[in-house]
Chains A and B, each alone.
Chain A
Amino acid sequence: MQIYLPIADLPVNVFLVLGMGLAVGYISGMFGIGGGFLMTPLLIFIGISPAVAVATVSSHIAASSFTGAISYWRRRALDIALAMMLLSAGIVGTATGVWLFTELRALDQLDLMIGLSYVTLLTVVGGMMIYESLQAVLRTRRGMPATLRRPGSHTWLHGLPFKLRFKRSKIYVSAIPVWAIGFVIGFVGAIMGIGGGFLLVPMLIYFLRVPTATVIGTSMVLTLVTMASATVMHAATNHLVDAVLALILMVGGVIGAQFGARMGQKMRGERLRLLLGLLVFAVGCRFAFELVVQPDDLYSLRYVMGG
């Protein structure tokens, strides 16, 4: 069944898009991430322009992260104070990102920027996750506990001023790294159409030593708000959010996420991280391949204006 997308200006198969929503939703529920880094390339692949894909995916992630956030809220696995702190910086990051997005679009370098950010971010983060989780898997093999959290171990980040106490997460850290992380996530999210969950979770664990219990729920709240504001900002400045496409993606996404979350809870933490690391790394390599290999068509068209 074909349906015409009013903003993307092309017809798509409803079941194909719904299926993509389901598949990405499943993965996102399983790993507790938004799944934007998978959805955006998929949409580009079926012919939707990168700009519309990035803008529309933000609303899709908002929906799936809201579902996730509610279920974590019910289990009280959410640190509202920490989330609010990250958010105040996240909004500024998103606004900066949307602004840069608009500028780069005018300069014809948006596709390159999206491509480069994907390669750098995904290969680096993916590689780190594979390395870390492999070590954890090996540690468990040798009979040692596979803990990430080493209480009492302090890094230089803990020596910074403006210290704050987050009760739910049981951490006492400076506001500076919290703001920096929030800004980076908001910025990257707006540029790349990703919620940044796959970035935020490791950042919170490694830099702020947030316990695993609250990290996913907190990351979902942050993802929700940055993506919701990215949707509004993209709609207001670039007019590129396709509500029809978003609706189909959301419906598939939230259903998939529910089944994925059940699967995720059955798996062991380090195995899950290893799988996610491999996935992230693979997507990164796919983008690198595209940038390095000579494209089939050197030419491309871009709409400047009507009339």
Chain B
Amino acid sequence: MRRFLISLIILACSVGPAAAERLVVSLSNHRVAVTSNFVGEELVLFGTIEPEPPTSALRPPYDLVVTVTGPRQTLRTRRKQRMLGIWVNADSREFVRAPSYLAVLSNRPVNTIAGPDTLRRLQIGLDNFLLPQRIGADVADTVRDDPFRAAFVRLQTQQGLYRESGTAVTFLTPTVFRAAIPMPAAVPTGSYAIDVELFAGGLLIARTNSALEVIKTGFEQYVADAARDYGLVYGMATTLMALIIGWFASVVFARD
């Protein structure tokens, strides 16, 4: 009897809500190559909203949020203060494992898509994304209007590394969408996670994810690797290059 009850519950769950949606997405390019003439790039994410199971009905209108997070890095935000008449870096906060790139792209401003609690729980939007700071021995996120947090987000935004856009996602039909992911020239290398979240009536109804990779290629990669792994040899090679150019110039110009 008990076993029968359990299987009945399982059956009920697998049928679940009568109608559900499934997201199918495809990225224009999973690999961004940073070459010597790299000046930034725009990736395009295409997707459709499919009924699940196929026979069930769709419930438009939908809202879509795409969150792209770059490789994590620890950064320090410093604040200048006047000391003895000059401006020095006096106070600082360390942001532990913050994304080096963060784009929140949606079809309308995120705060109109869902309630503040939902957004906070799902970490959607620059204001709601968790940015833990090292506070003494502790690591915790602070209130969104903390001056160091605000400055951190503002500086990253100025560099084009953080952005929130309520127009970057376009619905081509009520169920087919397109999202433009801007990759600025100063984009950090590493792997990026793409989270796609579908909302209807202020509730999260489906999510999926994808990934992309930003890599230095060819010569850039070679130079960066050499500088990091063989610092001494790299330094000597650079010095040798300096000497050769210096010598070459003196030979070329010695004629006249």
Contact = CB atoms under 8 A, between A and B. Distances in A.
A53 to B, nearest CB: 15
B16 interface: no
A63 B228 contact: no
B182 to A, nearest CB: 15
B242 A246 contact: yes
B208 interface: no
Interface residues of B, number: 63
A108 B78 contact: yes
B94 to A, nearest CB: 6
Contacts of B148: 299
A2 interface: yes
Interface in B49-83: 71-82
A248 B79 CA distance: 34
Given A67-B246, A67-B249, A300-B78, A231 B223 contact: no
A292 B86 CA distance: 5
B152 to A, nearest CB: 7
Contacts of B79: 298-299
Contacts of B196: none
A122 B86 CA distance: 17
B155 interface: yes
B167 interface: no
A305 B94 CA distance: 11
A303 interface: yes
Contact of A302 (B35, B78, B221, B239): B78
Given A4-B35, A292-B86, A304-B94, A228 B242 contact: yes
In the complex, which range does the number of interface residues on chain A fall in? Answer: 35 or more
B247 interface: yes
Contact of A304 (B74, B228, B237): B74
B227 A108 contact: no
Contacts of B248: 254
Nearest to A244: B223
B253 to A, nearest CB: 4
Nearest to A2: B39
Contacts of B87: 291-295
A247 B248 CA distance: 13
B242 A60 contact: yes
Interface in A235-266: 235-237, 239, 241-244, 246-247, 250-251, 254-255, 257-258
A264 B236 CA distance: 32
Interface in A253-281: 254-255, 257-258
Interface string B221-256: 101100110011011111101110111111001100
Contact of A241 (B92, B216, B234): B234
Contact of B250 (A4, A11, A67): A67
B223 A6 contact: yes
Given A232-B232, A301-B156, 12 more contacts: A6-B219, A6-B220, A6-B221, A6-B227, A62-B243, A235-B236, A250-B245, A299-B148, A303-B75, A304-B76, A306-B72, A307-B72
